[in-house]
Structure 1
Amino acid sequence: MISNKPLVSVIMATYNEKPNIIKSSIQSILDQSYSNFELLIFDDSTNVETKSAIDDMSKDSRVCVYRESTRVGFVESLNKGLKKAQGDFIARMDGDDFALRERLEKEVSFLLTHKNIMVVGGQMDIMDEHDNIVSHRNYPERGIKLWLFSCYRNPLAHPTVMMRSKIVDRGYLYNEKLKMSEDLDFWLRLMNDGYKIANLPDTVLRFRVQSDFINKRVNEKQRMYMSKVRKMNFRTKHPVHGVLSVVAGWIFTHISAESIKTMYKKENKNV
């Protein structure tokens, strides 16, 4: 049990999620065992039912909903959230996922006891459109295994992360020029600048995938953005990581879509 409970700002960017799904996602935050949080929802939805569902959930005093007259965009919404966050820690959450009840408590506890870690993520279950858990995804916790993993994969599951707000105070934001892989870019920049990241061994989230999930993952645009981000973050002061990362990005853009589909199917069984 955490005696001194710092404020956590949970950032959620939403766009036309199904009403029942967005309600479930928000409720999973409201039901957290760790209660000292604010939930900042940046809603870009055009769907009236989605807006109404979010408004219903915003009756809880810990929920703040922000809307603009024109669509803002996902990455831009995340940055608005980082700037408005009042907490000592900032957590990410997507509008179609489900946070396990002790997620925030476990992440806060970890950051309080590991002062050298700037961002922590966790393991996650994979669930389908009908809330059935169909697979599980593992991420290395720390050290050389996570370092090597980051050379060819995203080292953190974006909707599981919690970061220290001092990162934002030091000028770190998502790159709004990127429409994909903005999270990978964020982590690589932090790592290049000497900041430590980690993953909890615990499962903290249920990540929802749609029927076209794998096709989206292997589309050419997605792969090109990932390769671009790895090239952008090459640093001569970290040549080994940089070379491995760029080579991995090149390979990922040049192997067949079917090969990548096979890899994802092995990682996400039954999806």
Structure 2
Amino acid sequence: MSVYKKDDPRHLRLSIESILNQSYANFRLLVGVDGSVGEELESELKVYEANDNVASFWFKENRGLTAVLNNLIEEGKKLNPLYIARMDADDISKSDRFEKQINYLEKHPDVDVLGGAIEEMEYDGRLNGKVIHYPLTHQQCFDFFSTRNPLAHPAVMFRASFFDKVSSYNALYKKNQDTELWFRAFKVGCRFANLEDIVLSFRVSKDMYRRRGGTKFALEVLRLRKEINKNLGYGVKAQLFAYAYYAMAVSPGWVKRFAYKTFR
């Protein structure tokens, strides 16, 4: 879990508690603090440092999610884990998330990374009734990736060996690090899957549509999507979608909001 200055201390507390209250208890929560976070967030984090299941890493400089995740992967490897899970500082994991994901991975040793369905909640925590289901099998995930990410990034659990095959997140990608990671994982033959069950409540942040917009962001997505299409052999439909996504990313916020609610 990465934490930075714009995270809400109340949301952080709910996120951490959702991990500490998992029905599967044999885990360590690694929290990477991305630069200065202010007194309120710092006080909240300090409360959990006394918990044996929590380890915090305080980084002086704000470097972004990608850098912090890579640092946490390296720290996690020192513990020789079987699995590595992702979590965001404003989402809430279901209490049986780890148990269900580990049970699945134990029964399917060929799967390298596993996600699950997510339910959306508004910024204030109210569920908005939207549940997003992702493709269940590897082939379905591969086909789905021609236009969209086949996994909800904050809801995934990796087999630790995944990062032996794919190394780490690409430091060149600040906002599309998950898409780029899935691309390289497919290229080297990693196997994907999702649970049908809801494993996480995903908070729709106030600035989500702003963060998913702008010319710089749109160009990065377009370049990456074109590379994906070329290397993974996706066809004309995928190429058209890449340009459509670019157009949406440079559109006004109300257009992105409509498209997200209509097509996701």
Q: 2:257 aligns with which of 247, 252, 261?
A: 261
Note closer, same or farther for the CA distance 1:189–1:247 as it changes in structure 2 (3 Å cut).
farther
The whole-number CA distance in structure 1 between the counterparts of 2:177 and 2:15 is: 22
Per-residue deviation, 1:248: 2.4
Partner of 1:23: 13
Per-residue deviation, 1:197: 0.5
Q: How large is the RMSD of aligned CA atoms in angstroms?
A: 2.0
Q: 2:48 aligns with which of 57, 64, 89?
A: 57
TM-score, length basis structure 2? 0.89
Per-residue deviation, 1:163: 0.5
The whole-number CA distance in structure 2 between the counterparts of 1:259 and 1:49 is: 35
Offset from partner CA, 1:161-215 (integer Å, 9 cap, x none): 0011112233521000111110011011111221110111010001111233234
Matched, 1:97 2:91: yes
SS in 2 for 1:211: coil
Partner of 2:39: 48
Partner of 1:187: 182
Matched letter for residue 98 of structure 1? I
Q: Give the paired residue count.
A: 255
Q: 1:151 aligns with which of 146, 164, 168?
A: 146
Matched, 1:228 2:218: no
Per-residue deviation, 1:58: 2.1
Partner of 1:165: 160
The whole-number CA distance in structure 2 between the counterparts of 1:58 and 1:206 is: 25
Matched letter for residue 163 of structure 1? F
Offset from partner CA, 1:14-72 (integer Å, 9 cap, x none): 10211111111101000000000000000124211101101112221010000122223
Matched letter for residue 263 of structure 1? A
